């Protein structure tokens, strides 16, 4: 859109090809969080460097993702001049971190001039302790990259029906329930294959052991796949499966599958139910229910017309999340803050101008 953008972020190594657009600041340190691993920046020298960057760049807008997380986001929030925008991504059924720290964080949250949540689930999560007005602007997707026009992977186009999983092999992604479900699917529909895409963890050996002990055939552990190759895996699939057990505020992998024109079977958790309509783009089943997961997969796999209808509806929905549309919404929100048409605040008890109630601004853009 012609605006100058700089990205301040911790980097574990030099960012190739980023030029002056990325400003590396600190190193990411892994930290267990919500059944996954978050990466945070701990450093005693952040403040002077952040002050220098903010002074030299003189930004019109400082947009901080997860602004209340230590230490880089919180440091930038503490030191940045207006306009300060915060985007909240996280979702957790038991927000212990916010519960114990809200009285310390409320003064910094009050510095935000604008607040964005990526989904209704993310908004409900953060507003439990920091009520106020939130603009819901979802994550975007490259609908040209994840396209039905992409060529599938030929070696798996052999007449077998492919079930695809994409995600880190960690407990909350629900792979154990998918393997249990696949065992039943394979028994009743032998011409099927399960392809698991995603970086392995210590759990991968356990999943591989489950496959061997259960004599499960046609299970492929593809491991890490590059962004350029990933769309081909979606195109190879007959159905995409996301058996996640919780802690998701948004389903990027669901959007990728929709953009590729694929039907979906996913857990009925808040972050997924915000995005996928049961019976339209796919089917939602109770989390941790391998039997229901198997029945849903079989229902979709055995109905080619249903696959096509769900895939077509998914593609239409995914196009509403294209980056050009999402970026325009972000830019419109910036403009409203810069011209003063939006007045927001944030506290642990009462939202500025909201009487302490929870408010959500969401434009109908479907």
For the segment 31-57, what is each residue's pLDDT rounded down to a tens digit?
A: 665 555 666 776 667 899 999 999 999
Which pLDDT belongs to residue 70?
A: 81
**20-34, 67-81, 130-144, range with the lowest pLDDT:** 20-34
Is 7-12+19-140+323-361 a domain of CATH 3.40.50.300?
no
| pTM of this structure | 0.84
Which pLDDT belongs to residue 18?
A: 62
- Determine the average pLDDT of the residues in 7-23: 76
7-12+19-140+323-361 and 154-319 share one CATH topology?
A: yes
Which pLDDT belongs to residue 52?
A: 95
Which pLDDT belongs to residue 97?
A: 57
Which pLDDT belongs to residue 323?
A: 95
> How far from each other are the two terminal CA atoms of the chain, in whole angstroms?
22
Confidence of residue 91 (pLDDT cuts 50, 70, 90): confident
Q: Is the pLDDT of residue 104 over 80?
A: no
Which pLDDT belongs to residue 217?
A: 96
Interval 209-251: pLDDT, tens = 999 999 999 999 999 999 999 999 999 999 999 999 987 888 9
Mean pLDDT value across the chain: 87
Which pLDDT belongs to residue 163?
A: 98
Which pLDDT belongs to residue 45?
A: 78
Q: What percent of the chain has pLDDT over 70?
A: 85
Which pLDDT belongs to residue 356?
A: 34
- Determine the average pLDDT of the residues in 145-168: 96
So where are the chain's domains? Answer: 7-12+19-140+323-361, 154-319
Homologous superfamily of the 154-319 domain (CATH):
Glycogen Phosphorylase B; (3.40.50.2000)
SS3 19: coil
- Give me the long-range contacts of 351-358 (CB less than 8 A, separation at least 24): 351/131, 351/132, 351/133, 352/110, 352/132, 353/133, 354/131, 354/132, 354/133, 356/131, 357/131, 358/123, 358/124, 358/127, 358/131, 358/132
Confidence of residue 365 (pLDDT cuts 50, 70, 90): very low
Which pLDDT belongs to residue 90?
A: 83
Q: Is the pLDDT of residue 195 over 90?
A: yes
Query: Are the CB atoms for 186 and 262 separated by under 8 Å?
Result: no
> What size, in residues, is the chain?
366
Q: Is the pLDDT of residue 318 over 90?
A: yes
Among candidate residues 273, 360, 264, 351, the one with its CA nearest the CA of residue 313:
264
């Amino acid at each position: 859109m012609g605006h100058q953008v700089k990205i301040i972020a911790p980097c574990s190594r030099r960012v190739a090809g980023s030029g002056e657009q990325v400003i590396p600041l600190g190193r990411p340190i892994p930290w267990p969080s919500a059944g996954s691993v978050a990466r945070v920046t701990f450093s005693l020298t952040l403040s002077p460097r952040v002050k220098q960057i903010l002074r030299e760049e003189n930004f019109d807008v400082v947009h901080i993702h997860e602004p209340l997380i230590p230490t880089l986001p919180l440091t930038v929030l503490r030191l940045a001049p207006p306009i300060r925008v915060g985007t909240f991504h996280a979702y957790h059924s038991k927000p212990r971190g916010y519960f114990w720290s809200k009285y310390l964080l409320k003064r910094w949250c009050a510095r935000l001039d604008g607040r964005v949540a990526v989904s209704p689930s993310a908004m409900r999560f953060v507003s439990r302790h920091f009520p106020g007005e939130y603009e819901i602007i979802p994550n975007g997707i490259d609908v040209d990259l994840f396209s039905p026009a992409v060529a599938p992977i030929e070696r798996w186009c052999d007449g077998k029906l492919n079930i695809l999983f994409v995600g880190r092999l960690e407990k909350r992604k629900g792979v154990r329930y998918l393997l249990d479900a696949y065992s039943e699917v394979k028994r009743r529909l032998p011409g099927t294959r399960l392809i698991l895409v995603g970086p392995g963890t210590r759990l991968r050996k356990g999943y591989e052991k489950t496959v061997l002990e259960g004599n499960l055939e046609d299970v492929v552990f593809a491991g890490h796949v590059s962004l350029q190759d990933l769309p081909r895996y979606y195109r190879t699939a007959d159905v995409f499966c996301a058996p996640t057990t919780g802690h998701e505020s948004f389903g990027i992998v669901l959007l990728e599958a929709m953009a590729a024109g694929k039907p979906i079977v996913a857990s009925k958790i808040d972050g997924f139910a915000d995005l996928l309509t049961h019976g339209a783009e796919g089917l939602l089943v109770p989390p941790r229910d391998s039997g229901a997961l198997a029945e849903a997969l079989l229902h979709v796999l055995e109905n080619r017309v249903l696959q096509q209808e769900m895939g077509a509806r998914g593609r239409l929905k995914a196009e509403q999340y294209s980056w050009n549309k999402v970026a325009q919404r972000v830019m419109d929100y910036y403009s409203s803050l810069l011209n003063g048409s939006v007045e927001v605040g944030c506290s642990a008890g009462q939202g500025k101008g909201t009487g302490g109630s929870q408010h959500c601004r969401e434009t109908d853009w479907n």
